[in-house]
Amino acid sequence: MDKKIDLISRIKEHYEVMSKGQKKLAKYITSNSDSAVFLTAAKLGKTVGVSESTTVRFASLLGYSGFPEFHKALEDVVKEKLKFVDRIEIESSDMTKEEVLNSVMLSDANKIKLTMESLSKSAFDEAVESIMNARKIYIIGIRSCLPLAQFLGFYLNLMFEDVCLVGTNNASEIFEQLININEKDVLIGISFPRYSMRTLKAMEFANNRNAKVISVTDDVNSPINLYSSCNLLARSEMATVVDSLVAPLSVINALIVTLFMKKPKEVTNKLDMLENLWEDYQIYSNDEINYAESEVALIEE
């Protein structure tokens, strides 16, 4: 078979002669290529509900020498899709600037609404209890998800004694920080398309060490859910070149507020302590806080 024929074309060409299980694989891969690319033959089969051997035969039916060659073709499909998305520019739209503003904000509001309607209350409650009972809390988020991880880490650090925002410069650094994680700890992994392989590997490691693993991601089919026992799903579809992380931030905000309500005295005491430290060490000086008032005084003089 011609090597230049892409995977999706091969699937369409052979679909009619596929077995029932192979058709399930075909449908899943064409609809969820972003997730499927992270899966081994065994995990792909388990996700779809077929055997690993069915997955391997599926690759052979499409003309590949084995699953590795099939997987490489799947990677090429995902890369092409991402290149196409990266070429989309908001300037190419006929909308005015005001229309863009309204469109983006309405889209974000709709994502929050859809997230409210679909977020599992039991999963949310489980996440809260897991964090409350954890010896140590680890948080990981990479690339555009890093600000979400930092935001969550900042506020959890005000509530809990041992919070680690995992540094993510390289895989080695991640595992060095997670080396002592165990069943008494919790790892919160935050990842949205494009999903991070480093986040996925960190969650796999934590799961293997029997830690409680919580995912904050966009879809039930997200590869990030492979190693988590508690999934907080928030809508984040990309409308232009920018990922919308408004709904995920809202879910994280709700998580922070709920945890605060579980231990208000501890948080209030810590905030009072910080206020005293800021004053004693002149962290926020008067001229910074009352900048506008200072200017008025200068004018009057």
Residues 204, 224: contact at Cβ < 8 Å? no
pLDDT for residue 297: 47
Stretch 203-221: mean pLDDT, rounded? 93
Mean pLDDT of 202-214: 95
Residue 96: what pLDDT?
66
Q: What are the C-alpha distances in Å from 39 to residues 35, 47, 228? A: 7, 9, 15
* pLDDT tens readout for residues 64-102: 999 999 988 888 887 776 555 444 444 445 666 667 777
Best CA proximity match to 224, nearest among 263, 190, 254: 190
Cα separations in angstroms, 93 against 75, 83, 99, 104:
30, 19, 10, 13
157: Cα within 13 Å, side-chain hemisphere: 11
Dist CA 229 CA 98 (whole Å): 43
Rounded-to-integer distance, Cα 198 and Cα 175, Å: 10
Helix (H, G, I), strand (E, B) or coil at 141: strand
- Rounded Cα gap, residues 119 and 88, in angstroms: 30
What pLDDT is attached to residue 238? 58
Quote the mean pLDDT of the chain: 84
Stretch 133-141: mean pLDDT, rounded? 96
Confidence of residue 107 (pLDDT cuts 50, 70, 90): confident
Listed in sequence order, the residues at least 6 apart from 22 whose beta carbon sits closer than 8 Å to its beta carbon are: 50, 54, 57, 58, 61
pLDDT at res. 292: 52
Ordered by where they begin, the domains of the chain are: 7-87 (1.10.10.10), 99-262 (3.40.50.10490), 264-301 (no CATH)
